Amino acid sequence: MPSPRPEGASAYATRFAPSPTGLLHLGHAYSALVAAERARAHGGRFLLRIEDIDTPRCRPEYEAAIYEDLAWLGLEWEEPVMRQSDRRAAHDAALKRLGEMGLLYPCRCTRGDIRAALSAPQEGAPVIGPDGLVYPGTCRGRALEEAGAGDALRLDMARALERLGRARIAFTETGGVVKEPSEMSAAQIIEGIGDVVLARRDIGTSYHLSVVVDDAAQGITEVVRGADLFAATFIHRLLQELLGLPEPAYHHHRLIRDEAGRRLAKRDDARAIRRYREEGSTPEDIHRMLGLEAADS
């Protein structure tokens, strides 16, 4: 049970939502520190959520390292921490609702099948969306009742937009690092994003579905995350509308890059927060490296 909010306190709530598939690096530190600072500035809440649905890649030692590294950085968050792997029933219920709306279909295409279908002469140049190649629609005619263990479930994007009767999908961006408009027309969404997977065959859910269901469950009013997820936000807004979930604002922040200008990835172990720590850096050094004001002590 959440504790009652003190009178006059802000309803602002944000979160840091790492996946325990590797050690946190400088990019994660930046995300967590920006989110916590925005919560502080708004007199609101800073929550943590462990995004551990990708079970084959998640490890308990990485989850333990997340808590340790964040605490070392000086962050505090509310307990209990939400773990996405405990939320399966809520993810399933959302999926069921979308299925009942007639918006899902089973898909057995492999990446190779998709590439082959897209290389057919009648297809134009393949489009890369937030989830990779935009799906050519091969399985779109299949009925949901046919879904078997080897199938993923995809969202029929054109139908979803039609159901909402929306000519465009928009969101409120408070970050401002991304210069693209935070609105897309239905045609742009169909062509540029397409029928995304909402339930992977291996884990039965997906990042997109779980993130919207769990942001709503945690009462998140502003999602703070890297600019790499900007385009995915159109999918999230669409799912929120379909599922009748509240609309948070989005704050996409700049990405932390290495000297070659590449975005940091979990495999960049050299940038792991704990490597800096082992080499004698202090949390203040990390703040400075990230171009953030050192936290008040």
Contact residues: ligand GLU, CB under 6 A: 17-19, 51, 211, 225, 229
**What is the nearest approach in angstroms of ligand GLU to the Cβ of residue 193?**
16
Q: Which residues contact 279 (CB under 8 A, 6 or more apart)?
A: none
**What is the nearest approach in angstroms of ligand GLU to the Cβ of residue 156?**
23
Which is closer to ligand GLU, CB of 198 or CB of 211?
A: 211
**What is the nearest approach in angstroms of ligand GLU to the Cβ of residue 56?**
15
Which is closer to ligand GLU, CB of 21 or CB of 138?
A: 21
**What is the nearest approach in angstroms of ligand GLU to the Cβ of residue 19?**
4
- CB environment 228-238: b (16+ within 10 A), e (fewer): ebbbbbbbbbb
Which is closer to ligand GLU, CB of 19 or CB of 182?
A: 19
Question: What phi-psi label fits residue 58: left (phi over 0), alpha (psi between -120 and 50 degrees) or beta?
Answer: beta
Residue type, 25: H
Q: Count H helices, E strands: the chain? A: 10, 12
Positive or negative: CA dihedral 212, 173, 221, 162: negative
Q: Angle, to 10 degrees, between the axis of helix 88-100 and the axis of helix 207-217?
A: 110
**What is the nearest approach in angstroms of ligand GLU to the Cβ of residue 48?**
11
Which is closer to ligand GLU, CB of 114 or CB of 155?
A: 155
Which is closer to ligand GLU, CB of 27 or CB of 106?
A: 27
Distance linking the first and last C-alpha atoms of the chain = 31
Cα dihedral 74/79/83/89 (nearest 10) = -160
**What is the nearest approach in angstroms of ligand GLU to the Cβ of residue 230?**
11
Which is closer to ligand GLU, CB of 18 or CB of 129?
A: 18
Q: Are 239 and 171 in contact (CB under 8 A)?
A: no
- Whole-angstrom distance, CA of residue 66 vs CA of residue 49: 11
Give me the count of residues in the chain.
297
Which is closer to ligand GLU, CB of 27 or CB of 194?
A: 27
**What is the nearest approach in angstroms of ligand GLU to the Cβ of residue 22?**
10
Q: Are 75 and 55 in contact (CB under 8 A)?
A: no
